[in-house]
Amino acid sequence: MKIGFIGAGKVGKALGLYFKNHDLTLAGYYSRTSQSAQKAAQITGTNDFKTIDGLAKACDLLLITTTDHALEDIDRQVSASLLNNQSTGAHKIWLHVSGALASDCLSGIKAAGGSVGSMHPLLSFGDDPAQNARRLEETWFSIEGMGEAMEAVKNILNKTGGVYNMIAAEKKALYHAGACVISNYLVTLLDCGMKLMQAAGMDEKTLFQAVRPLIDATLKNIEGEGAVNALTGPIVRADYNTLSVHLEAIAKELPDEERFYRSLALSTVQMIQNQRLNEKQAKIFQKLLRGSGHNEQ
């Protein structure tokens, strides 16, 4: 099975190297800009193609590794080509790598005879293709789509040793929202925490190195005990006074972060309510965090 890529960005290059490292056969890349396709082809030792038609003729399976908003245009372009018999891409397998969109966004290609599916790597991609390819060795994939497409994806991942979950098409947006919270908003969360520490006088240049052991230990605790049992800190100890001190300090020094802190704390109370906090303790925290004080303790 020859595999081709429509899109030569971070994901396309990383998957190309990942497949190549496991001796899968690659045809090459098509991209809106020929320079991108040439660079990806050079990295993977494959060919660059000037048109999607040309790539489709050389492949059995095509991976669309573009941005989500480009999928509609590619589906329209490819399906028109297939229906006009300008390509041999009909009856081939067409996959996209979007986490949010289901395979039915390729409805035109499906109607023209292609077998469509999606194959999303649950990974945040950096700028180094080789490093991304190495990270893919430990990455889980979420897949859904038509039967033939799913058989092809499973065969590929069986050869690479990749682990996968089947996911319902109608649940893709919810799945991707979860991935965004874990990846994207973890960045936002760490940024907030480090801003507070910088305001306390910690050196910005060495701050991440200082908090990295804390981050690693927290992740290890979640892995071993689950989120509820891994939680430490003032909320799980029902330490209302410490939380009050936090709120006062943040309001004074970094007021723009206070709302975010309150929201996170309220969500934390809800997470452990009736598990590690009793009903009365949870209500005291909720009043405190909503600005009503905590005189009921």
Dihedral over Cα of 279, 285, 289, 293: its sign: positive
Q: Is residue 297 over pLDDT 50?
A: no
* 175 contacts 182 by C-beta, under 8 angstroms: no
* 74 contacts 101 by C-beta, under 8 angstroms: no
Domain 2-167 is found in CATH 3.40.50.720 = yes
Query: Stretch 35-47: mean pLDDT, rounded?
Result: 97
> Could you tell me the pLDDT band of residue 85, with boundaries at 50, 70 and 90?
low
Q: Is residue 268 over pLDDT 80?
A: yes
Query: Stretch 257-272: mean pLDDT, rounded?
Result: 97
Q: Is residue 129 over pLDDT 60?
A: yes
C-alpha radius of gyration, the chain, whole number: 24
pTM as predicted: 0.90
